[in-house]
Structure 1
Amino acid sequence: RSPEIAEAFITITQVIMSPDLKYATVYLMTLNGKNLGVILEQLNAEKWVFKKLVAAKLKLRFTPDINFRVDDTFEEADRINKLMNDPKVKADIEKASDEDEGELV
């Protein structure tokens, strides 16, 4: 219903259900990351629409409460990759590797 959501390319990357199936956390990302905060806010404000759709499809005693969150997996992986490629970190890894080779097992 909102123009930001209608114009966005949203990908749901993961849905995690609580063990009792009462809560669903939906992780998503957008193609370009624009308006992500606004989109997330609006999706959470309109989550009753999704809850109604889920209720119509599933035969559960309770319809799960849906919470939308940003999937930052790729950003975190990129951060770790940059860290691992840092010359100081590479030197520390090589030094630790050389020290491990010198130890007797």
Structure 2
Amino acid sequence: MAKNKFHDGAGPSQRQLRVGELIRRTLSDVLMQGDVHDVELNAMSITVSEVRMSPDLKIATAFVLPLGGGQRPEAIQALARNKGELRRQITKQMSLKYAPDLRFLIDESFDKMDETRALLQSDAVRRDLDDDDDD
């Protein structure tokens, strides 16, 4: 019986991780150098924190965040509008069998880190931590 390679249990393969990191670096370079012919996109400073690849390496989901966290919807719209040109630039700089379809999502991990930091600094947590130090 054939092994099902599309399950969520084992996590991404080494190939998925390697290709995702290569695409992240290339996409960051393309955005930083302003190689895209869109004035609105070139005016934004966008951080590409992670790229996750599908198991067949045909879909790349890029997690992005504009500098300062503002203009999130505008950044996603600008990236989606220039998806074809970004894909072409990435393919030109990399040697992949297929040019992956790009999808863009806002990276929420920075917000979650801020929430966690605020929670750890709250009075209730500090009180509990101080009680443990007395033992």
Shorter-chain TM-score tier: 0.7 to 0.9
Identity of aligned residues (%): 28
CA distance in 1, matches of 2:86, 2:52: 15
- Secondary structure of the structure 2 residue equivalent to 1:32: helix
- Secondary structure of the structure 1 residue equivalent to 2:98: coil
CA distance in 1, matches of 2:45, 2:121: 31
**Would you say 1:55 and 2:91 are equivalent positions?**
yes
Compared CA separation, residues 3 and 60, structure 1 to 2 (3 A) = closer
Task: Choose 63-72 or 25-34, whichever is displaced more.
Answer: 25-34
Cα RMSD of the aligned pairs, angstroms, is 2.2
Write the letter of the residue equivalent to 1:28: V
CA distance in 2, matches of 1:74, 1:39: 16
Compared CA separation, residues 26 and 61, structure 1 to 2 (3 A) = same
Q: For residues 1-105 of structure 1, what are the structure 2 equivalents within 5 Å?
A: 1-92=37-128, 97=132
- Contact persistence 1:23–1:65 (CA under 8 A): yes
- Contact persistence 1:12–1:29 (CA under 8 A): yes
Q: Who is 2:3 aligned against?
A: none
- Contact persistence 2:66–2:75 (CA under 8 A): no
Cα deviation digits, residues 6-54 of structure 1 (max 9, x gap): 2111122222222221111112222222322111112012211111122
List runs of 5+ in structure 2 lacking aligned partners. Answer: 1-36
Task: Choose 76-85 or 32-41, whichever is displaced more.
Answer: 32-41
Cα deviation digits, residues 34-80 of structure 1 (max 9, x gap): 32211111201221111112222333332111111222222210110
TM-score normalised by structure 2 residue count: 0.60
Structure having the higher strand fraction is: 1
Q: How many residues align?
A: 98
